[in-house]
Amino acid sequence: MEEKIMAILNDICGADEGELEPDFDLFEEGILDSFGVISLFVEIEKQLGVKFEPTEVTRDEIKSPALIIEQVLRRA
């Protein structure tokens, strides 16, 4: 499931496979914004069946690929 989450994240962020490091701060680097977060949540729900509400998580809880993976696995 982690590989699928990374593939979704790479697609949303426009990154190549392996380009995003697990602890990379996606917001600080300007790679992910609020629209990107919504798109990410929609794709995760569509492809993995894991539902997120934007109000359920803070920016700090999803600021890196590793934290996004952790949040998805926690809800799966």
- The CATH number that applies at residue 27 is 1.10.1200.10
Distance (Å, whole) CA 64 – CA 59: 9
The pLDDT tens digits for 28-70 are: 999 999 999 999 999 999 999 999 988 899 999 999 999 999 9
Tell me, what amino acid is at 32? L
Structural domain boundaries, residue 70: 2-13+22-75
Helix (H, G, I), strand (E, B) or coil at 27: coil
Say how many domains are in the chain: 1
- Please report where in the chains the tokens 């799966």 appear, as a residue: 76
The pLDDT tens digits for 12-29 are: 999 998 999 999 999 999
**pTM exceeds cut of 0.85:** yes
